[in-house]
Amino acid sequence: MRVSLVLSLSYLSMAVWAGGYQGCLERVWLFQAYEIDALNPLADQTIGFKCTRPDEKKMICNGDWAACRPGATTSRTRCDFGELMKHLGKAPTVRKGDSWVGLDDKGNMDAEKTAKNCYRIYSTSEGKNKNVKNFPPHNALRDTWEYNEYIMKLSTKVNNAYRTHKTEANKHLWERFDDTRAKIGVARAADHAPYLIKEAIDKLGADFPLKRQDLGKNPVTGMPQETVDWKLTALEAKEKGIPNASAEISKVTSGFYIKDKDGKPSSALKHLQVMRSYKRVADRTQSCRRGH
């Protein structure tokens, strides 16, 4: 199998539909970036800003870019996680005694626990907003309108802050940000896996040696997770002497991630593009922070 095809398929294995837990992880990731942005001078801060009068078709802001504001009864100048969720829009009401944030044993925000709390709060809400949908980028980051652009710009902002503000005392902020990004990749792969596996079996046949990749246990349900390992699948098929195995696999993936009749990306292709953005962010982060 050609190297280029192997690399392409490794991306495809991670392309997924957004799920509730994954959507909450992305909110945690935003909040972690928001905390890092607080290290910048006020005039340079851009995370946690929302357009008050957006024109989404023209992608322009006809109003102001308003910063997230903490509650009037607090002396804080920065929003906490719950306040940032409200700032993003359509956040459910948290019942008395419940909390968005889950803490680790040192009293710090735990990304996985917080995402699980967030998912529970959304899914058990009495309102209409039970689904954890992608928030509009213009509600989270100044001068940003498209989700892939948002991912790249948020990462750039965090990497720039690393070069100018990182110390031994605060380096954990970037470590947690990176760890959450990795968790998002796994969650996206796991959410999508049932669709991908079904498509592969339907198109390749039950006798095709479809190899699986273990993704650990689902943090919400505790059930095991797996997806397709395309590289091992191609190697196994070659060893078994299946003719044109690489071409057959390519046919499945290229038919799955397509544009519709109007030339617009399908749901699967949109999520592939998002996953590629996260992959680029991970690669660029290693390069940008090397030597700092």
pLDDT in tens, 185-213: 899 888 888 888 999 999 999 999 999 99
| Interatomic CA distance for residues 132 and 82, integer angstroms | 15
Q: What is the DSSP letter of 141?
A: B
Domain count, the chain: 1
Say yes or no to pLDDT of 283 above 80. Answer: yes
pLDDT at res. 291: 66
Q: What is the pLDDT of residue 290?
A: 76
Structure tokens at 247: 């071409």
Per DSSP bridges, beta strands 54-55 and 65-67 are unpaired
At what angle are helices 172-204 and 20-37 packed, to 10 degrees?
A: 150
Residue 265 domain boundaries: 3-289
Return d(Cα 190, Cα 195) in angstroms, integer: 10
Res. 8 pLDDT band, cuts 50 70 90: very low
Return the bridge partners of 291, or none. Answer: none
CA dihedral (192, 234, 9, 255) in degrees, to 10, reads: -70
Structure confidence at residue 5 (pLDDT): 39
Under the banding of pLDDT at 50, 70 and 90, the label for residue 258 is confident
Q: Rounded to whole angstroms, how far apart are CA atoms 203 and 151?
A: 33
The set of residues, in sequence order, having a beta carbon less than 8 Å from that of 85 and lying 6+ positions away, is: 27, 91, 100, 118
Is the pLDDT score of 214 beyond 60? yes
Q: Is the pTM of this model over 0.75?
A: yes
Cα–Cα distance measured from residue 231 to residue 243, given in angstroms and rounded to the nearest whole number: 16
Q: How far apart are CA 278 and CA 51, in angstroms?
A: 24
Q: What is the pLDDT of residue 267?
A: 83
Work out the end-to-end distance of the chain between its first and last CA atoms, rounded to an integer number of angstroms: 38
